[in-house]
């Protein structure tokens, strides 16, 4: 197949911090062009557009369907994902949506159904799966033999300062915001298998938000993953895969690392520089999921082979089971 050299034209929903980082990463790539940014606050949209040299500015999200873009990146609040992505898919516009794809498993199921019925590309932006270190992780898994268990921690007191993570009306949840990376890691290692048993306990805020959780996923083989999240404690933020012949460790930040340790052998894969400073650690790595989306679109794919929609569904279902078990208010 001869792939087109024409630029992939992006529309951006939301002028927030993660959208800034995503567009900053896009601007370091050839064959990617940002045509339009849409935001609820027009002043924010204007500043964003000026900074990133985006020609079209919209003060509402819905009008983006008229802009003739190849794909839309949705970086809006978690609570807004479902309705916005639904609108895009119904208008047969390909979508890359920030994690979590939706707040509820039933909404994720609905979006997957619409995407498949309309034969339109949809992918959740779990960027970890597309990073060079994660490619290296997959290549090296056979060297440690049969997997015995996976241990992942993700926690920081700094995260609690972000209202979006702690307020229920904004979609606050440690599981949905940071636990998604832990669940994704476990599912990646166990090849997106459905766990046969899920246990979870948590520390719930007065608003009903899961501030700390401990999750255990047991798989058919009898092996398991132990996953811990916290918005109130600084955890190691590491991911370790233990096999019968050794281990692989992704150090902090495991969700976007520059290196991995395979039985004591360190493999270093640094991130590229960006034109502008980013808000979050190693955000230049967002380029890799964007590159993957372009490749999928050029090949006419409607799902990613690296993060297929069935994998997204399983991650959503696992997180919802855990949210219910820990007693998070919105899932009772």
Quickly list DSSP for 76-87: S-GGGHHHHHHH
Both 70 and 209 in one domain: the answer is no
Q: At what angle do helices 81-90 and 105-118 cross, to 10 degrees?
A: 10
pLDDT in tens, 166-193: 999 999 999 999 999 999 999 999 999 9
What CATH number does the domain containing 83 carry? 3.40.50.720
Residues of the chain with pLDDT under 70: 1-4
Which one, of 316, 325, 181, lies nearest residue 253 by Cα? 181
Both 110 and 249 in one domain: the answer is no
Q: Is residue 109 part of a domain?
A: yes
How many Cα atoms within 13 Å fall on the side-chain side of residue 326? 29
Tally of domains within the chain: 2
Q: Note the Cα 239 to chain centre separation in Å.
A: 16
* Rounded distance between C-alpha atoms, residue 173 and residue 141, angstroms: 31
Both 327 and 181 in one domain: the answer is yes
Domain hosting 26: range is 8-127
pLDDT of residue 161: 87
Both 161 and 232 in one domain: the answer is yes
Dihedral-angle region of residue 264 (phi above 0 means left; psi in -120 to 50 means alpha; beta otherwise): left
What is the CA angle 210-213-214, rounded to 5? Answer: 160
pLDDT in tens, 7-28: 999 999 999 999 999 999 999 9
What CATH number does the domain containing 136 carry? 3.30.360.10
Q: Is residue 278 part of a domain?
A: no
Residues 183 and 318 sit within 8 Å (Cβ to Cβ): yes
- Distances in Å between the Cα of 13 and the Cα atoms of 78, 178, 285 are 12, 21, 20
DSSP-derived 3-state class of residue 251: coil
Both 104 and 161 in one domain: the answer is no
Both 54 and 74 in one domain: the answer is yes
Both 140 and 264 in one domain: the answer is yes
Both 141 and 168 in one domain: the answer is yes
Tokens 């933020």 identify what position?
Answer: 237
Both 100 and 235 in one domain: the answer is no
Q: Is residue 226 part of a domain?
A: yes
pLDDT of residue 100: 98
Q: Is residue 1 part of a domain?
A: no
pLDDT of residue 211: 97
Both 226 and 236 in one domain: the answer is yes
């Amino acid at each position: 197949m001869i792939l087109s050299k024409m630029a992939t034209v992006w529309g951006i929903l939301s002028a927030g911090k993660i959208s800034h980082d995503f567009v900053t990463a896009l601007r370091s790539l050839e064959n990617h062009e940002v045509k339009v940014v849409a935001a609820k606050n027009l002043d924010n949209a204007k500043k964003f557009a000026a900074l990133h040299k985006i020609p079209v500015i919209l003060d509402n999200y819905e009008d983006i369907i008229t802009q003739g873009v190849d794909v839309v990146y949705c970086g809006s609040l978690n609570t807004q994902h479902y309705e916005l992505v639904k609108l895009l898919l119904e208008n047969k516009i390909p979508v890359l949506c920030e994690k979590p794809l939706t707040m509820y498993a039933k909404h994720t199921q609905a979006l997957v159904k619409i995407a498949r019925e309309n034969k339109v590309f949809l992918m959740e932006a779990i960027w970890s799966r597309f990073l060079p270190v994660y490619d290296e992780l997959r290549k090296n898994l056979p060297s440690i033999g049969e997997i015995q268990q996976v241990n992942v921690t993700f926690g920081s007191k700094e995260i609690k300062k972000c209202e979006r993570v702690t307020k229920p009306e904004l979609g606050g949840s440690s599981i949905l915001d940071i636990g998604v990376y832990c669940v994704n890691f476990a599912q990646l290692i166990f090849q997106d298998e459905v766990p046969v048993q899920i246990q979870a306990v948590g520390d719930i805020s007065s608003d009903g938000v899961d501030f700390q959780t401990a999750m255990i996923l047991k798989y058919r083989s009898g092996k398991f993953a132990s996953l811990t999240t916290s918005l109130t404690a600084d955890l190691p933020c590491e991911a370790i895969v233990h096999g019968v012949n050794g281990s692989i460790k992704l150090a902090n930040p495991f969700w976007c690392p520059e290196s991995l340790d395979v039985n004591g052998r360190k493999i270093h894969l640094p991130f590229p520089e960006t034109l502008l400073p980013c808000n979050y650690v190693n955000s230049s790595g967002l380029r890799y999921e964007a590159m993957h989306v372009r490749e999928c679109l050029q090949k006419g794919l409607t799902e990613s082979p690296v993060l297929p929609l069935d994998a997204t569904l399983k991650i959503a279902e696992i997180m919802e089971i855990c949210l219910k078990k820990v007693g998070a208010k919105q899932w009772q």
